[in-house]
Amino acid sequence: MILYIGLDDTDSREGGCTTYLAYRLVDFLLSEGVEILDYPLLARLNPNIPWKTRGNGAVCIKVAVDDDMQDLKDGIVSIFKDNPHMNYGADPALLFYTGSTNKDIIHFAERALYDVLSNESALSIINKYGLEYYAYGSTQGIVGALASIGTSMYIDNADYTYEIIAYRLRENYGRPRMIDETSVIDMDRSTEPYTFNNYDYKHKRVLIAPHGPDPVLCGIRGEDPELLIKALRMLEIKEGMEGYMLFKSNQGTDAHLQHAIDANDLRAYTSGYIVGRVVDDPKVIKKGHTFFELEPLGSSNSIVCAVYEPTGLCSIAQRLRNDDILEVGGGVRDGKDIHQKVLNVEYIMVLKVAEKYIYMNPACTCGKRLKSEGKNKGYSCKHCGCSIVDASKVRVRVHRDIKEGLYLTDPKAHRHLTKPLRRYMLDKHRLRSRLDIEWFYRDSSSNKNGSKALRIDIRDRIKYS
């Protein structure tokens, strides 16, 4: 039988705590000799929901079990309840599902990528199929936990990536992370394009390490588990590490932008894409933020698209003109007061550049442009002095300083789900995971109880100061 273990800890913005809880659970499962069927799945959900009580990072662990699994579940629940965030306003949730792939759960997970889902909608599925759950705080965590289970049911038929996440020693929590910046750049250069979002060269910023007090030391994202282990070993990390774990993930796949937004029913905080015609020339407000109106094909309700400066898309947006045909992806911002709902743009695909013309005075035989003498009074040339009465303006095609194609945001504006430039041409479908590599590591000295999961000691392979 397959047991799906779904987890969400919605207090954690970056999912750091959720993945650490998963790491601890996997450590326990391996030490119990449980067969783990795939990499734990880190599922990112609709990033355009502004409130943080609905986690956008949840984890599912898929294991093989027999009928007698009560002791195993008890062990999992006890580790889950040991979660240090339990009493600090978090909304953690744990879900167990045993059974075959379930269409309702998959559908729920697909909607969780672009829609706003209620606790009640999660509960109705949980009750219908008899899932066992533990939820605290607002119990909002059940939405993410259920969505992570559904995502793990279909991820092999979709595009996905991996992330290797390394965890800190407890005594270092809250201290600056000691990762040598040059080694991050070297790792990035020697693993591209098969890893992504390691380093922002424009702003000279390390992207693999968070800044908060969470247990995550760093996370490297990419296409291949073995390469990610190598990439981690390339880093010069000047602090100890509790261990690492590899996750499968929908990060970097644009999974939240695959749904066509209905312009006639624009709902706040949903994500997706729209194809339409630019209605008017763009308007630029302070700091370069740019707005334009798009009339969706087959609809007469135009919607306002907002392109903010940090996305790096403003200069392209400002070159758009009336009648250009675009596909834009993004999230719907709620309409405040009199302002209507707005689509916050996450990419622009220019499908057709409209031809633009201006009308100019005709040229003189001497080569200079003629000057108009006034309406119906003909033209004269200031250069050679000749005058032409019987002439009319000529139509000249304007050079459009924009090309058809896809325009993506700068790395600093990326969400977890944003598909980075490097991944175009690399997306994978229907690949099987290989679990025969050293995908889980825990330093035995960091755990007084010891762990049978320890396969290798990477301390001697990673440079420490």
Site for Zn ion, rule CB under 5 A: 364, 366, 381, 383-384
User: Which residue, chain included where needed, has tokens 């599902």?
Assistant: 97
Q: Between 362 and 450, whose beta carbon lies closer to Zn ion? A: 362
Give least dist CB 389 to Zn ion, A: 15
Pairwise CA distance, residues 20 & 248, whole Å: 15
Q: Is 192 helix (H, G, I), strand (E, B) or coil?
A: coil
Give least dist CB 366 to Zn ion, A: 3
Could you tell me which of 248, 254, 251 has the C-alpha nearest to residue 60? 248
Side chain identity at residue 91, one-letter code: D
User: Which residue, chain included where needed, has tokens 């939240």?
Assistant: 256
Q: Between 274 and 364, whose beta carbon lies closer to Zn ion? A: 364
Give least dist CB 360 to Zn ion, A: 15
What is the enclosing helix (H) or strand (E) of 232?
A: helix 225-234
Could you tell me which of 447, 203, 415 has the C-alpha nearest to residue 330? 415
Pairwise CA distance, residues 180 & 197, whole Å: 16
Q: Between 63 and 381, whose beta carbon lies closer to Zn ion? A: 381
Give least dist CB 396 to Zn ion, A: 19
Q: Between 260 and 366, whose beta carbon lies closer to Zn ion? A: 366
Residue 176 phi/psi, 5-degree rounding, is -60, 145
Give least dist CB 364 to Zn ion, A: 3
Q: Between 2 and 391, whose beta carbon lies closer to Zn ion? A: 391
Q: Between 389 and 437, whose beta carbon lies closer to Zn ion? A: 389
Q: Between 267 and 393, whose beta carbon lies closer to Zn ion? A: 393
3-state percent helix, strand, coil for the chain, nearest multiple of 5: 25, 30, 50
Q: Between 170 and 383, whose beta carbon lies closer to Zn ion? A: 383
Q: How far is CA 344 from the centre of its chain?
A: 14
Q: Between 379 and 440, whose beta carbon lies closer to Zn ion? A: 379
Give least dist CB 371 to Zn ion, A: 10
Give least dist CB 359 to Zn ion, A: 20
Pairwise CA distance, residues 330 & 168, whole Å: 35
Pairwise CA distance, residues 65 & 34, whole Å: 7
CB atoms within 10 A of CB 391: 15
Pairwise CA distance, residues 187 & 34, whole Å: 34
Q: How far is CA 167 from the centre of its chain?
A: 22
Give least dist CB 397 to Zn ion, A: 24
**Angle, nearest 10°, between helix axes 103-111 and 119-128?**
170
Pairwise CA distance, residues 370 & 444, whole Å: 86
Pairwise CA distance, residues 55 & 52, whole Å: 6
Q: Between 36 and 388, whose beta carbon lies closer to Zn ion? A: 388
Q: Tokens for 7? A: 């987890």
Q: Between 192 and 373, whose beta carbon lies closer to Zn ion? A: 373
Pairwise CA distance, residues 106 & 88, whole Å: 31
Q: Tokens for 225? A: 């588990």
Q: Is 205 helix (H, G, I), strand (E, B) or coil?
A: strand
Give least dist CB 372 to Zn ion, A: 14
Q: Between 172 and 380, whose beta carbon lies closer to Zn ion? A: 380
Give least dist CB 275 to Zn ion, A: 49
Q: Which residues pair with 307 in a beta bridge?
A: 290
One DSSP character per residue, 137-205 reads TTSTHHHHHHHHHHHHHHGGGS--EEEEEEEE-GGGTTSPP-B-HHHHHHHHHHHTTSEESSEETTTTE
Could you tell me which of 117, 124, 122 has the C-alpha nearest to residue 269? 117
- 118: buried, middle or exposed (CB in 10 Å: 19+, 13-18, 0-12)? exposed
Give least dist CB 394 to Zn ion, A: 16
